[in-house]
Structure 1
Amino acid sequence: MFQQHSVTPAGHGPASAEPAAPCASATPVVPGFEHRRVQVADGVALHAAVGGSGSPIVLLHGFPQTHLMWRHVAADLAADHTVICPDLRGYGASDKPADPDGTAYSKRTMAADVVELARALGHERFALAGHDRGALVAFRAGLDHPAAVTHLACLDVLPTQDMWEVMHGVDAAVGFHLYLMAQPPGLPERMIAAEPDLFFGHFLDLWGGDRAAIPPAVRAAYLDACRAAVPSVVADYRASAGIDLEHDRADRAAGNVLTMPVTVLQQDWGAALGFDARALWSAWAPQLAHRTVDFGHFMAEEAPERVAGELRKLLAR
């Protein structure tokens, strides 16, 4: 998908980052951003698009996408912020380590990647926004690294513990993939790898409110990336039925909450599944601004001006 350029850290010191050469392919890019490959853990480097100047904000993509989902919002925010858009570990052009013990794709591990990425780029403190899977990583970063995350936005997701608690009955069939990828290693990977474009394309078609928001070249880039990442995408989801749930339950039992200002943008899932999203989020985020929106799941592409505007409001808090 992108040309890859390894960066070797000096000794065992801080992670290093170097500009990558411009992409030689016609793959869509975030306008005006440069591509970097940053070492964030032993054997793991993230690909990131970086642009703009000013106070930093990191934008984390969802499933089944890459950092490209932020292309419009990132270009807007770059007018007065340093914007960092990585591919999460296991996705896009970032590394995809094996997961022998079920921890390589825990949201705790992936959140640590993000904090190290920002630090390697010179930012000890930063705002953080995530969509879908990226929002779960952002949520965990906010809980585990409150000194680093100044502001937090989560788009169209529920925290892991709450998500599993509200899924029930036939109305939960829309989340069949959560249960499929929660199965032990082997079966889900083989099933998805047999028809990856059909599987991942299903969600791009089903969840979007405006298909024109994801043009053919971007859709093709998403499918190319997912086709090459089936085991790691499954491992990411499998973690949410195991270690991620354990971490959320431990934080809930300890009374841990998000201490920074939080904005949540969310479709009205509660109407179908019978829950109050604002109430669920309020239990985690005392400084919550919750917005119910009327556009589709891929909101950063369907309504980028609205999303960028909400992020600016968050950063002003």
Structure 2
Amino acid sequence: MNSHDQHVESSDGTRLALRRLGAGDPVVLVHGSGGGLHSWAAVADQLAPDHEVWMPARRGYGPSDVPPGTKSFAVETADLLAVIEAARQRTGRRVHVVGASYGATLALHTASADPRDIRSLAIFEPPLFAAGPEIAPLLDRYRAAFERDDAPAMAAALHEVTRVPAEIVAALAAGAGDRTPDPVEARRAAIGWLHDLEALAGDSTDIARWSSITVPTLLLAGADTWEPMPTMMNALATAIRPARHLVWTGQSHFVTMTAPTLVADALRQFFAEVSAAQPSSGDPTGTATATR
């Protein structure tokens, strides 16, 4: 299916590149750390026959702007609201917002700050445990490694942030074999990670704050994702009372890449249920039945 690349300007003038495809109710897919325009492609292709899918590259990730200064969730929330507004204006419909990993944390911030144009929220494994002052030393380590272009040291710092078990790190390395990443792409991801860590270090691990969210919410997780993610997802399901909580057996934090059909099917079903409960402008709490 044909896609269209365009830009949206945020409130501070930052230009955000995005890819748009399909037609129908608008869906904004928000990528995680190290991602970009390509991150949601396999899922987007499956949603596009009946949805207009918007995939922005977040600030700090080329070809979007990489502004100077320290990044925060406040500025990224303004970015995402600009994309949501553009999708709402183009289609005349409120927007389904989907976030994965760091992108899920950003989606939570955005739905909490201004839910007016958000029709539903789908959240896949936000690293809410990786925030606040304890991240600051890891940010400093990562920044020092970044400045000397030390990829192994950058990766080591990131593994401490994400708490990926050593055996999974080893399995990923073995799977990569002798392939070396494209240097331009690797540098782009490294810059993005640096700015994401800045925002995480300035954030909080308080999960109770998300109890203010009342839009229909779907929480998604893989049963094989490592702790503390499962415990944190259970806490998030308790905090967001309208939330449904779907856990995929045999899947992990990489499910959007390893099983995109599974993800797309779950999202399509959720969107259909929300649409059935909100036939027009809708009741923002129309799917408040929790299934744990």
1:64 Cα deviation from its structure 2 partner: 1.6
| Residues 136-185 of structure 1: CA deviation (Å, up to 9, x unaligned) | 11111111111121111111224x3x5559xxxxxxxxxx9x555433xx
Q: SS at 2:239's partner residue?
A: coil
Q: Could you state the TM-score of these two structures normalised by the residue count of structure 2?
A: 0.74
The answer to whether structure 1 residue 239 and structure 2 residue 195 are counterparts is: no
Q: Distance in 1 between matches of 2:120 and 2:28?
A: 10
1:296 Cα deviation from its structure 2 partner: 3.1
The answer to whether structure 1 residue 264 and structure 2 residue 211 are counterparts is: no
Spell out the pairing of 1:269-288 with structure 2 (5 A cutoff): 272-273=227-228, 276-288=231-243
Show the counterpart of 1:224. Answer: 184
**2:30–2:100 CA contact under 8 A, matched in 1:** yes
| Residues 202-253 of structure 1: CA deviation (Å, up to 9, x unaligned) | 8799569889999x99x846x63441364553232122222x22xx75x946
**1:213–1:301 CA contact under 8 A, matched in 2:** no
Show the counterpart of 1:41. Answer: 11
Q: Distance in 2 between matches of 1:290 and 1:33?
A: 32
Flag the 1:227–1:259 CA change in 2: closer, same or farther, 3 A. Answer: same
Flag the 1:257–1:94 CA change in 2: closer, same or farther, 3 A. Answer: same
Q: Aligned-residue CA RMSD in angstroms?
A: 3.6
1:299 Cα deviation from its structure 2 partner: 1.4
Show the counterpart of 1:115. Answer: 81
1:291 Cα deviation from its structure 2 partner: 2.1
189-198 vs 149-158, greater mean Cα deviation: 189-198
Matched letter for residue 257 of structure 2: E
Spell out the pairing of 1:81-160 with structure 2 (5 A cutoff): 81-99=51-69, 102=70, 105-121=71-87, 122-123=89-90, 125-158=94-127, 160=128
**2:219–2:237 CA contact under 8 A, matched in 1:** no
Structure 1 residue ranges without an equivalent (≥5): 1-30, 166-175
Flag the 1:220–1:230 CA change in 2: closer, same or farther, 3 A. Answer: closer
Q: Distance in 2 between matches of 1:279 and 1:304?
A: 23
Q: How many residues align?
A: 260
119-128 vs 293-302, greater mean Cα deviation: 119-128
Q: SS at 1:69's partner residue?
A: coil
Show the counterpart of 2:278. Answer: none
Show the counterpart of 1:52. Answer: 22
**1:108–1:144 CA contact under 8 A, matched in 2:** no
**2:18–2:37 CA contact under 8 A, matched in 1:** yes
Q: Distance in 2 between matches of 1:75 and 1:299?
A: 16
Q: Distance in 2 between matches of 1:200 and 1:210?
A: 12
**2:145–2:151 CA contact under 8 A, matched in 1:** no
1:256 Cα deviation from its structure 2 partner: 4.6
Q: Could you state the TM-score of these two structures normalised by the residue count of structure 1?
A: 0.69
| Residues 242-296 of structure 1: CA deviation (Å, up to 9, x unaligned) | 2x22xx75x946x852111111222347874496344311233112121223223
Show the counterpart of 1:306. Answer: 262
**1:213–1:302 CA contact under 8 A, matched in 2:** no
Flag the 1:308–1:229 CA change in 2: closer, same or farther, 3 A. Answer: closer
**1:61–1:132 CA contact under 8 A, matched in 2:** yes
**2:84–2:117 CA contact under 8 A, matched in 1:** no
Flag the 1:196–1:260 CA change in 2: closer, same or farther, 3 A. Answer: farther
Matched letter for residue 56 of structure 2: P
Identity %: 23
